[in-house]
Structure 1
């Protein structure tokens, strides 16, 4: 039955379960009394919700704490083994697959290098399939118990009724790749296990906002800086973030050719691949046959050598110019979105690191409008190179919480009768 607000009894119960689960997840262990104070729910509601969650195996006791003049209070926490997620990072140099418990403790991982295979769709799908099978091989639970598989990919992800998530990855040569349906037919997982596929910048943003340098911020932009560049915008209106193709802002009309085919994109100047190309074109000497990560390390070592060694002037000049391009690109984000924080992650962003950051901050402030520039902080992310994978695993976890700790219903061949839906709403529990 729906009230004046349009919310049913089921909606209210689900909302209460979500609030309690999230509070215990981020701030637990907590007592029932503390939960009531923190959530604003009545003591009776807390008791009912906690009883349900304990019965479902989602919440467990975690010791006691003395109270003032009364009996010790029982502490509660989210049960780590009550759910599992898989996170996948389809990166520039490898496909990483990790298995997590409900508290995002890593239980297993595997990596498959891409080497010279590029982004061949069959290769990527095979790496994901084999990686999932490998991390599940030594577990003591069945695949049916997975809350889902989250996958971070380059490109724009569109959701279609017939094929699920379809990836438009112009820079990697993917034209409307039906990745979800390919994985569904290839991976040996039950139909009850959902796939959650999104842009890698958004999964990075989720991870940093939940557990990293973004915690506590009302609005932020999280930048993924690798072979290419992207960003995730998080605001009060977009709580779980929205990916934005920041790397394809035009910074120079008629400039360098970008991987997307256009000219003058930011990515054509600051993406790791473009940065190394510019060093080579200026007379630098990246290690022959080295991958991007190794070559970027060599460039940084040349530009910022050990004490007593002369710096490579060419490498230093290219990096200084790159810092200005990055700062100018960040100024666009500052002017457009006026965030409280900007966080830089991704393997290249973390390699460039703290030494690169002061120049980036200086250029961002010089190009941005004064007022929004004065209120924003620009820092590195805290979660390292695993952040995209962790964020990918958060996708099914966030969906699970939004459902009040209930698993998604498997998609059936048809819709249930209207009378059954109405009856379920009336008798929701």
Structure 2
């Protein structure tokens, strides 16, 4: 009771707005009459909140439906033009920047390849700076309508003193990419050309992938799901709860650095026997090269993995499967199955989803073996209630998940816009018409 008594009228108002926005975002369009029982608010509160949100450009009408014997009911939905988000994937092979409207429909995108230069911090910051400028320009978007920028990065994220207090903000510890205590948020705020005060949200890429799949993909509706990101490296997240109940929790795991082989291969993290040393695309490339696989010296991870798969699965009318390639991929499937069994035994997820560009590439070939090995290594009762499938959102899932970081904050704050000033000397260009693309709840 003491906690409740400390809530102010402003808190209650913001909470009511958040409940309406979240329900419309994930279950809309809905009528005012449907919003009442869905949110637990009175009809008077619904009317007030809807009027406020509509006046701020966050809600719009979405047609009329007949009611049983009464007046037709007007449906409401989130207005796509109510604001913009940027999602950024700092991946192993490229930096991808995407601009989304409020419904998470893609408006513009750009990629910056990393193959030649790797994870030099200055270069990454430069890619983000130019990528953000490019997508805003290509969409004819006003930077002042940005509601936030989300970034998914490899490594462990440390929350230090907030930027407003003079601290570096989010600090990235990425041992496998050579980043040690990089004040990434501060560097981005100093470099990226957006209005001061625009929120930045930085988190582990596997966690953003998991959030995207929970919101819009294969994890939607699950009480608990583990989502694996398999690229040049390997990571995972465990996701629990329900979005609309407000208790959804996502935890990033350094799953790629769990041990699958005693006295095994040296991992790029410096340890030995890590899952990543067997199941990451970089490791698969090196294992294929060591076995004499026909690869040019400068073959990147994507080219090498495609060649390995082509050798193991040549297709009808092609050459016989290469037994060495088949053995490498079977060992990869066993290592993944054993490591997934650990996730099953530890977290009891209802679903496991494999994502990341390499996971989506090997999945169609290896998924039956991965499932079999997962069942062999996991406890029977635990694995009996777990499904193992590919993620639903494709290679854009990390970017979409990154955009959900500021979106989640925006919805939780009841649609309160960030307080900031415009960039000096900027004017608001006309918004380009939004192309058709990812919808609010039908993505993938």
**TM-score interval for Structure 1 and Structure 2 normalised by the shorter chain:** over 0.9
Q: Secondary structure of 2:92's partner?
A: coil
Determine if contact 2:108/2:139 at 8 Å carries over to the other structure. no
Displaced runs of 4 or more, over 6 A: none
Determine if contact 2:225/2:240 at 8 Å carries over to the other structure. yes
The residue number in structure 2 matching 1:195 is 200
The residue number in structure 2 matching 1:330 is 340
Determine if contact 1:206/1:240 at 8 Å carries over to the other structure. no
Q: Secondary structure of 1:137's partner?
A: helix
* Range with greater deviation from structure 2 (251-260 or 200-209): 251-260
Structure 1 position 6, deviation (Å): 4.0
Greater RCO, CA 8 A, separation 6+: 2
Alignment of 1:390 with 2:372, yes or no, is no
Alignment of 1:357 with 2:362, yes or no, is no
The residue number in structure 2 matching 1:117 is 117
| Distance in 2, Cα, partners of 1:33 & 1:21 | 15
The residue number in structure 2 matching 1:209 is 214
The residue number in structure 2 matching 1:25 is 25
> Cα–Cα, structure 1 residues 302 and 408, in superposed 2: closer, same or farther, change >3 Å?
same
Structure 1 position 145, deviation (Å): 1.5
Deviations 1:359-402 (A, max 9, x none): 00110111011111100011000111000001011110000001
* Range with greater deviation from structure 2 (62-71 or 231-240): 231-240
The residue number in structure 1 matching 2:438 is none
| Distance in 2, Cα, partners of 1:343 & 1:132 | 30
The residue number in structure 1 matching 2:132 is 132
Structure 1 position 139, deviation (Å): 3.9
The residue number in structure 2 matching 1:221 is 226
The residue number in structure 2 matching 1:177 is 182
Structure 1 position 3, deviation (Å): 6.5
Determine if contact 1:168/1:175 at 8 Å carries over to the other structure. yes
Structure 1 position 2, deviation (Å): 7.4
1:406 to 410, 416, 419: 416
Structure 1 position 53, deviation (Å): 0.9
The residue number in structure 2 matching 1:378 is 388
2:255 to 246, 255, 259: 246
The residue number in structure 2 matching 1:47 is 47
| Distance in 2, Cα, partners of 1:325 & 1:3 | 49
1:296 to 301, 305, 320: 305
Q: Secondary structure of 1:147's partner?
A: strand
Equivalent pairs, count: 411
Determine if contact 1:283/1:314 at 8 Å carries over to the other structure. no
Unaligned runs of 5+ in 1: 412-429
Determine if contact 1:144/1:192 at 8 Å carries over to the other structure. no
| Distance in 2, Cα, partners of 1:346 & 1:368 | 23
Deviations 1:196-234 (A, max 9, x none): 110000110111111111100011111000000000111
Determine if contact 2:267/2:273 at 8 Å carries over to the other structure. yes
Determine if contact 1:150/1:396 at 8 Å carries over to the other structure. yes
**TM-score computed with the length of structure 2 as normaliser:** 0.90
| Distance in 2, Cα, partners of 1:139 & 1:352 | 34
1:167 to 167, 172, 191: 172
> Cα–Cα, structure 1 residues 22 and 281, in superposed 2: closer, same or farther, change >3 Å?
same
Structure 1 position 27, deviation (Å): 1.5
**TM-score computed with the length of structure 1 as normaliser:** 0.93
| Distance in 2, Cα, partners of 1:318 & 1:312 | 10
Unaligned runs of 5+ in 2: 162-166, 422-444
The residue number in structure 2 matching 1:346 is 356
Determine if contact 1:2/1:8 at 8 Å carries over to the other structure. no
Q: Secondary structure of 2:76's partner?
A: strand
| Distance in 1, Cα, partners of 2:357 & 2:210 | 14
Structure 1 position 190, deviation (Å): 1.5
Alignment of 1:232 with 2:237, yes or no, is yes
Q: Secondary structure of 1:306's partner?
A: coil
Structure 1 position 23, deviation (Å): 1.2
The residue number in structure 1 matching 2:426 is none
| Distance in 2, Cα, partners of 1:388 & 1:4 | 37
Alignment of 1:267 with 2:276, yes or no, is yes
| Distance in 1, Cα, partners of 2:24 & 2:139 | 26
